[in-house]
Chains A and B, each alone.
Chain A
């Protein structure tokens, strides 16, 4: 089992540029989560999908953020335009049973917006 796979591991971009983060969940897991981690606020949920359908996007900070899950094995989180305050580590996680919420996390994408 390869676990949750995220790419890229690191992304450095300039303010105003579009950023796309990618995630492949564990096969057979039907729930997918995008989290953002900062020193000040810790881990915060951005958006959650169940069976490829967005269920709760109340954590998405602004309209600059969007997420898609076109199929069960792929999801993207896009920031357009990016701003320095978006700098953080972005994690994707998946689970088989959303009732139990035993999440498996990827290794994250370290985003730096200059």
Chain B
């Protein structure tokens, strides 16, 4: 059964304190791994898609990496506006018309 586990559930960082969020997955053939950002009261917003182990994508202070078992979202020198819930999702080769989401990491960046 496809499974996505995100850790930690919640993370508090001081502004400028870099850290990483983890997404571990079990899927019968990975077609793609997705990162989304969700602000309170809003829908998830697309950040990245990774397709193969070793791939990396960057956007401003965020960098996503992928291995065969997990993905990391690295946040460098975060700012308060980076506070949000970060969701990881996998698209499997079977059931490819669906994204299976983790429950997210709630990030708070303190000024």
Contacts from A to B (Cβ < 8 Å): 4, 31, 41-45, 48, 50, 55-56, 91, 93, 98-108
Contacts of B43 in A (CB 8 A): 4, 91, 93, 105-108
Interface 9-mer from B10-18, B58-66, B101-109: B101-109
| Cα distance A100–B34 in the bound complex, in angstroms | 10
Contacts of B99 in A (CB 8 A): 45, 101, 103
B89, B97, B103: most-surrounded residue (chain A CB, <10 A): B97
Partner of B49, one of A4, A45, A100: A100
CB distance from B36 to the nearest CB of A (A): 8
Contacts of A55 in B (CB 8 A): 97
Across the interface, do A43 and B91 meet the contact criterion of CB distance under 8 Å?
A: no
Across the interface, do A42 and B102 meet the contact criterion of CB distance under 8 Å?
A: yes
| Cα distance A91–B96 in the bound complex, in angstroms | 19
Interface of B is mostly: loop
The 18 sampled A-B contact pairs (Cβ below 8 Å) are A4-B43, A42-B87, A42-B102, A42-B104, A43-B44, A45-B98, A55-B97, A56-B97, A56-B98, A98-B97, A100-B49, A101-B96, A101-B97, A102-B49, A104-B46, A105-B45, A106-B43, A107-B41
| Cα distance A98–B31 in the bound complex, in angstroms | 12
Contacts of B96 in A (CB 8 A): 99, 101
CB distance from A5 to the nearest CB of B (A): 11
Contacts of B34 in A (CB 8 A): 101-102
Contacts of B102 in A (CB 8 A): 42
- Segment 53-111 of B: residues with Cβ below 8 Å from A: 87, 89, 91, 96-99, 101-104
Contacts of B45 in A (CB 8 A): 105
Across the interface, do A48 and B46 meet the contact criterion of CB distance under 8 Å?
A: no
B41, B42, B45, B99: most-surrounded residue (chain A CB, <10 A): B99
